[in-house]
């Protein structure tokens, strides 16, 4: 199996304190190295608290917990940098700082009082890099903004307008700086999200499967991973085979089949089967693998709106250039031509979209929702239909055991012990409820083996050599052909009370039923009404529960338009597809492994914070707060972002057209046109950042939902 490509680099330690290390490498001067990516990668390592990168000085400063293991991990991570940290195209951001802006501004202000020869030498010296870039751009990429800037500077210098040339340079640096700050703000968010999320894992010791803290795992131990679980280590499969989703690391969307002898990548997700993996690398040694493509999809990729804005901006640059040449051809006035060339529509159009989008992503994260890129933000604003999987989204997902009904040969304690033993390995709300109830009653759990998860159906395991099946009635009665007639009336009565049922069988015979209830989230009804007020036209509920249980829940939610029950995972995806075929823009919210097909099929897949790893990987939107109102906030933030971009576009057109008219008719000078254009651009970018930096729900924190409506 192909591993992530690496580039070897040589970092040397230039200074070190007990909790801080400073390293230097000429590699950091590589023009295609994404320093944001490098910084995020190092900061994702366990034990690292802060990272500061100084590109021009080719240094990186790392604050950490002071342990030898973390220090070793930092050096190892910097020794081999993933190829994904290197940009394939000319995408590298600016490196303008306040000192650079201040220096250019000071030079522009001092130019009028300097001797003539000094003015000329200084101005040409500062302008030549930009002019060279303009020439290179013209021959490699055509007429772009760099060509306009270089032409304006050249014309100003040829006319002896040194103050104008330097002032334009200072204004351009200010614009670049503002763009940098917006990008850095978004990157800072992502760095905090790249920390490993795994806390507990299952390992096999002495023939038993036990749960330990992830930090306690040692090299050589056997890790057990079931469906929907993230593989926490880089290792080798020693037993079992299954389907593994590696898209987060390799970018390949098709799951691959792994079997004994195959290597695993940390951060990938098991879709089917159970794998026993010998840990070859553990802890912070796998930190770089965890970065996966999330940073790339969130910052490097562009939404459809961003791409359209960029294309429009690129098409307008030659138009401005042609207007400048036309003005000179008719007037033979170089000053007017230069004034026209300073007015460029593309700056505000091209920059306002990423600034607004990234700031909105940051704002949404502060509200408790993670958006995986600009397209997710755009899609969230566009949807008109919301589909909810019931358990864990509209309900609290914290099931409480209400009834334990064994057959006469078993006691409640025995039935609960058997069921909890089989379910202990399964990260599902039903399993957690059963295990919690057993622990609350101080019931010891039996040793189990051969645990097998049947997604959306149940669990199979062996206790003292006896085969145990725990799951839905459909799983027990129809798939496993076990007679459940003896408890038909009991099951019917419990369902009429709105309870979920778990059937337990031993050696092909039903031994009891466990009933539980999942309470509706207190904010659910209010939030769904809020979605209707925020432009959502249709809301549906999907559930695998029995008809009576589903209808009992839907009766409490007036905003719900339709409810479907007794569904299989493929049924949920089919319903989402049917809605899309009718022309609906669909958002689907779920949290389980069985929700993955629907999450992928929807225009926007939304996962709850406690969702399975596979669901979190598949979703475009991941909630970081259990409160459903945070999702409504994210919807309002997305709509606000869309409206802000529309305002920015029309403001750009209006202001620049007016400035262009004044410049072309000679009403304003080159410097005035440049100032009007650049200051209006900065103003529009500031508006985009300011308008999207505050949640629409912030003004009344005690009543966020009412304020949002």
Q: Is 63 helix (H, G, I), strand (E, B) or coil?
A: strand
The answer to whether 370 and 364 have CB atoms below 8 angstroms apart is yes
The answer to whether 505 and 480 have CB atoms below 8 angstroms apart is yes
The answer to whether 502 and 406 have CB atoms below 8 angstroms apart is no
Burial 623-641 (b: 16+ CB within 10 A, else e): beebbbbbbbbbbbbbbbb
What are the tokens at 158?
């040829």
Give the span between the Cα atoms of 674 and 656, in whole angstroms. 11
Give the span between the Cα atoms of 610 and 429, in whole angstroms. 10
Give the span between the Cα atoms of 85 and 88, in whole angstroms. 10
Give the span between the Cα atoms of 59 and 35, in whole angstroms. 11
Give the span between the Cα atoms of 247 and 386, in whole angstroms. 26
From residue 174, alpha-carbon distances to 451, 467, 519, 690 in Å are: 61, 70, 54, 17
Helices (H) and strands (E) in the chain, counts: 25, 28
The answer to whether 60 and 39 have CB atoms below 8 angstroms apart is yes
Catalytic member of 34, 344, 389, 545:
389
How many C-beta atoms surround the C-beta of residue 459 within 10 A? 25
Q: Is 694 helix (H, G, I), strand (E, B) or coil?
A: coil
How many C-beta atoms surround the C-beta of residue 437 within 10 A? 20
Query: What is the chain's Cα-based Rg?
Result: 30
From residue 213, alpha-carbon distances to 202, 210, 218, 223, 448 in Å are: 9, 10, 11, 12, 20
Crossing angle of helices 145-158/334-341, nearest 10°? 150
Sheet (strand 269-273) strand order: 256-258, 242-245, 269-273
Residues 6+ apart with CB under 8 A from 190: 40, 294, 295, 298, 299
Residues 6+ apart with CB under 8 A from 676: 343, 655, 659, 662, 668
What are the tokens at 652?
């750009």
Crossing angle of helices 629-664/304-331, nearest 10°? 10
To the query of whether residue 389 is one of the catalytic residues in this protein, the response is yes
Which residues are known to be catalytic?
389
């Amino acid at each position: 199996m192909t591993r992530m490509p690496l580039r070897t680099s040589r970092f040397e330690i230039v200074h070190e304190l007990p909790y801080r290390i400073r390293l230097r490498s000429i590699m950091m001067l590589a023009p295609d190295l994404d320093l944001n990516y490098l910084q995020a990668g190092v900061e994702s390592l366990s034990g690292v608290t802060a990272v500061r990168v100084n590109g021009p000085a080719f240094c990186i400063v790392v604050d950490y917990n002071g342990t030898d293991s973390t220090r070793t991990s930092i050096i190892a991570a910097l020794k081999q940098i993933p190829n994904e940290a290197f940009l394939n195209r000319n995408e590298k951001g600016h490196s303008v700082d306040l000192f650079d802006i201040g220096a250019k501004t000071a030079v522009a202000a001092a130019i009028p009082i300097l001797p003539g020869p000094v003015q000329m030498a200084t101005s040409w010296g500062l302008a030549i890099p930009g002019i060279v870039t303009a020439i290179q751009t013209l021959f490699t990429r055509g007429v772009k903004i760099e060509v306009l800037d270089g032409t304006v500077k050249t014309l100003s210098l040829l006319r002896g307008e040194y103050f104008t040339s330097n002032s334009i340079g200072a204004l351009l640096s200010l614009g670049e700086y503002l763009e940098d700050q917006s990008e850095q703000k978004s990157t800072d968010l992502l760095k905090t999200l790249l920390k490993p999320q795994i806390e507990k894992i299952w390992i096999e010791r002495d023939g038993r499967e036990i749960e330990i803290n992830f930090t306690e795992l040692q090299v050589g131990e056997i890790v057990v991973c079931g469906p929907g679980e993230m593989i926490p280590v880089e290792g080798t499969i020693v037993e079992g085979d299954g389907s593994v989703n590696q898209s987060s690391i390799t970018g390949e969307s098709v799951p691959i089949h792994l079997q004994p002898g195959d290597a695993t990548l940390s951060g990938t997700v098991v879709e089917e089967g159970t794998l026993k993996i010998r840990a070859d690398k553990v802890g912070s040694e796998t930190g770089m693998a965890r970065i996966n493509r999330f940073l790339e999809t969130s910052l490097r990729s562009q939404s459809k709106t961003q791409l359209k804005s960029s294309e429009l901006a690129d098409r307008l640059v030659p138009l401005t250039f042609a207007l400048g040449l036309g003005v000179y051809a008719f007037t033979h006035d170089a000053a007017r031509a230069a004034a026209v060339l300073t007015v460029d529509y593309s700056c505000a159009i091209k920059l306002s979209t990423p600034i607004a989008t990234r700031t909105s992503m940051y704002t949404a994260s502060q509200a408790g929702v993670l958006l995986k890129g600009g397209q997710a933000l755009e899609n969230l604003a566009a949807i008109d239909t919301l589909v909810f999987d019931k358990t864990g989204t509209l309900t609290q997902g914290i099931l409480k055991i209400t009834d334990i009904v064994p057959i006469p040969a078993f006691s409640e304690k025995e039935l609960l012990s058997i069921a909890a033993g089989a379910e202990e390995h399964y990260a599902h709300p039903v399993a957690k409820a059963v295990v919690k109830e057993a622990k609350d009653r101080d019931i010891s759990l039996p040793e189990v083996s051969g645990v097998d998860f049947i997604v959306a159906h149940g669990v199979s395991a062996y206790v003292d050599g006896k085969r145990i099946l725990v799951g839905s009635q459909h799983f027990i009665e129809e798939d496993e052909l076990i007679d459940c007639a003896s408890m038909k009336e009991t099951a019917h009565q419990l369902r009429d009370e709105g309870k979920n049922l778990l059937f337990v069988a031993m050696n092909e015979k039903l031994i009891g039923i466990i009933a539980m209830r999942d309470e509706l989230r207190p904010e659910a009804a209010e939030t769904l009404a809020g979605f209707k007020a925020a432009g959502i036209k249709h809301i549906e509920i999907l559930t695998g529960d029995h008809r009576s249980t589903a209808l009992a829940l839907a009766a409490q939610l007036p905003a719900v338009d339709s409810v479907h029950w007794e569904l299989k995972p493929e049924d949920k995806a089919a319903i989402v597809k049917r809605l899309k075929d009718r022309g609906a823009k669909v958002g689907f919210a779920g949290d389980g492994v069985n929700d993955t097909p629907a999450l992928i099929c929807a225009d926007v897949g939304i996962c709850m914070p406690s969702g399975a790893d596979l669901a979190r990987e598949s979703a475009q939107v991941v909630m970081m707060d259990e409160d459903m109102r945070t999702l409504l906030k994210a919807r309002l933030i997305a709509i606000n972002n869309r409206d802000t971009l529309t305002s920015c576009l029309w403001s750009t057109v209006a202001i620049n057209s007016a400035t262009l008219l004044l410049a072309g008719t000679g009403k304003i000078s080159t410097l005035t046109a440049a100032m009007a254009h650049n200051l209006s651009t900065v103003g529009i970018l500031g508006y985009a950042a300011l308008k999207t930096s505050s949640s629409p729900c912030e003004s009344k924190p005690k009543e966020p939902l009412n304020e949002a409506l």
